[in-house]
């Protein structure tokens, strides 16, 4: 018999000890769904949890979290209250699938391999990524067999480290994200730059997003202050799921801790074991597909990826290194600069223009 055990204490230390807190005011169906979702999350990721199903239905462990989500995503819901289907969102980097990924040039990897304590200073990547006709980017890809990534990430601030000046058709937007690639496809989860100024808590922040999990529109959830660092964790909590956890500070400087869990199509064959999966990390200026314009001048600078680790289960993570990294590249190399220390530590500068 399914038991919906509710903890009446909302103290952070108790939640982070693994207590599953679910508001008693939520419908019984929602409680049951969230209990199953939260039981498979890392214990420290269970404080503020939002779950999105394949059909656009969404659930949370707190009524206040649902209210916040609805307010921040006005206009993105259909008549039934579910998230709308995708229309013309900016596509992110198309990896193809794990079977079609170009293998790295061994000499190129050797140039950028070897854990050292000294950064290289900003330099162009030695390998060029595929042109996806959707903006410039930096990509690091793991070898197969991984389902989890953890990292500390510095989020650039406007105007000195982030400027968006899109053309009439390019739709420039900054992205810092991770995700997984399999023979069936891919998923992207991370942070997108909400560049516009304004009083809303989402304006001038980096907000959590997901693409590739389903056909529903990308929602706005969990926003983090520019010019600060976040701790990010991506993993597969159950087969055919993906989760993103971010811990940092919101626009007002208050602690912001959010977990986003999404159902993933079975065709992607996502496994907790990481079998047949590669983990990626990407820094990009996303542009509308086939409306790429590498002359707009938009840029994000000093994106810091620090202590990047990959693994399959909590505690199994190891620093990215030459033995678990498949490839590193930039598109175009003239639009990307990397202050490279090693596979686990680098700063990235991406621009729609020559650097």
Q: Of 47, 72, 97, which marks where a domain is finished?
A: 72
Residue 220 has what DSSP assignment? Answer: P
Q: What is the pLDDT of residue 301?
A: 98
Same domain assignment for residues 288 and 176: yes
Domain-embedded: residue 84: no
Q: What is the pLDDT of residue 217?
A: 58
Same domain assignment for residues 34 and 176: no
Tokens of 349: 């500068």
pLDDT tens for 175-210 read: 999 999 999 999 999 999 999 999 988 999 999 998
pLDDT tens for 259-285 read: 999 999 999 999 999 999 999 999 999
113 vs 197: which has the higher pLDDT: 197
Same domain assignment for residues 177 and 303: yes
Domain-embedded: residue 78: no
| End-to-end C-alpha distance for the chain, whole angstroms | 61
Same domain assignment for residues 59 and 118: no
Q: Tell me the C-alpha to C-alpha distance, in Å, between residue 229 and each of 153, 266, 293, 304, 325.
A: 5, 34, 29, 8, 24
Cβ atoms of 138 and 348 closer than 8 Å: yes
pLDDT tens for 40-99 read: 999 999 999 999 998 888 999 999 999 888 887 778 888 887 887 665 455 455 554 444
Beta bridge partners of 333: none
Same domain assignment for residues 141 and 265: yes
pLDDT band at 146; cut points 50, 70, 90: very high
* Ramachandran area for residue 200 (φ above 0: left; ψ -120 to 50: alpha; else beta): beta
- Report the domain count for the chain: 2
Q: Of 52, 72, 92, which marks where a domain is finished?
A: 72
Domain-embedded: residue 3: no
pLDDT band at 107; cut points 50, 70, 90: very low
Same domain assignment for residues 126 and 66: no
Same domain assignment for residues 110 and 233: yes
Domain-embedded: residue 94: no
Same domain assignment for residues 46 and 121: no
Tokens of 212: 């590739």
The residue range of the domain holding 31 is 12-72
Q: What angle do CA 65, 71, 74 make, to 5 degrees?
A: 135
Domain-embedded: residue 207: yes
Q: Of 56, 72, 88, which marks where a domain is finished?
A: 72
Domain-embedded: residue 126: yes
Q: What is the pLDDT of residue 93?
A: 57
Domain-embedded: residue 224: yes
Same domain assignment for residues 54 and 113: no
Global pTM value: 0.88
- When the pLDDT of each residue in the chain is averaged and rounded to a whole number, the result is 86
Same domain assignment for residues 43 and 174: no
Nearest to 271 by CA among 184, 188, 194: 184
Domain-embedded: residue 90: no
* CATH assignment of the domain containing 204: 2.60.120.1270
Same domain assignment for residues 216 and 303: yes
């Amino acid at each position: 018999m399914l038991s919906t055990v509710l903890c009446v204490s909302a103290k952070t230390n108790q939640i982070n000890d693994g207590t599953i807190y679910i508001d008693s005011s939520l419908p019984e169906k929602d409680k049951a769904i969230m209990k199953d979702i939260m039981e498979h999350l890392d214990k420290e990721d269970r404080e503020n949890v939002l779950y999105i199903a394949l059909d656009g239905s969404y659930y949370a462990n707190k009524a206040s979290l649902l209210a916040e989500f609805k307010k921040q995503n006005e206009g993105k819901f259909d008549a039934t209250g579910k998230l709308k289907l995708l229309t013309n969102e900016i596509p992110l980097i198309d990896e193809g699938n794990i079977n079609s990924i170009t293998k790295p040039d061994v000499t190129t990897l050797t140039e950028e391999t070897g854990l050292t304590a000294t950064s290289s200073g900003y330099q162009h990547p030695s390998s060029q990524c595929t042109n996806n006709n959707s903006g410039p980017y930096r990509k690091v890809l793991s070898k197969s067999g991984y389902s989890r990534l953890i990292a500390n990430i510095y989020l650039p601030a406007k105007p000195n480290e982030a400027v968006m000046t899109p053309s009439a058709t390019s739709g420039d937007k900054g992205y810092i994200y991770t995700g997984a690639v399999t023979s069936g496809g891919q998923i992207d989860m991370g942070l997108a730059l909400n560049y516009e100024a304004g009083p809303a808590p989402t304006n001038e922040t980096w907000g959590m997003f997901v693409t590739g999990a389903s056909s529903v529109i990308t929602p706005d959830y969990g926003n983090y202050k520019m010019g600060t660092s976040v701790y990010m964790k991506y993993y597969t909590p159950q087969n055919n799921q993906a989760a993103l956890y971010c811990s940092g500070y919101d626009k007002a400087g208050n602690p912001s801790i959010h977990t986003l869990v999404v159902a993933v199509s079975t065709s992607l064959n996502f496994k907790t074991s990481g079998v047949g999966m590669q983990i990626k990390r990407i820094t990009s200026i996303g542009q509308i597909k086939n409306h790429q314009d590498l002359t707009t001048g938009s840029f994000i600078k000093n994106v810091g990826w620090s202590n990047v680790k990959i693994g399959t289960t909590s505690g199994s993570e190891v620093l990215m290194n030459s033995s678990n990294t498949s490839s590193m590249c930039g598109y175009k190399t003239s639009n990307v600069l990397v202050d490279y220390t090693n596979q686990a530590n680098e700063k990235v500068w991406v621009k729609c223009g020559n650097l």
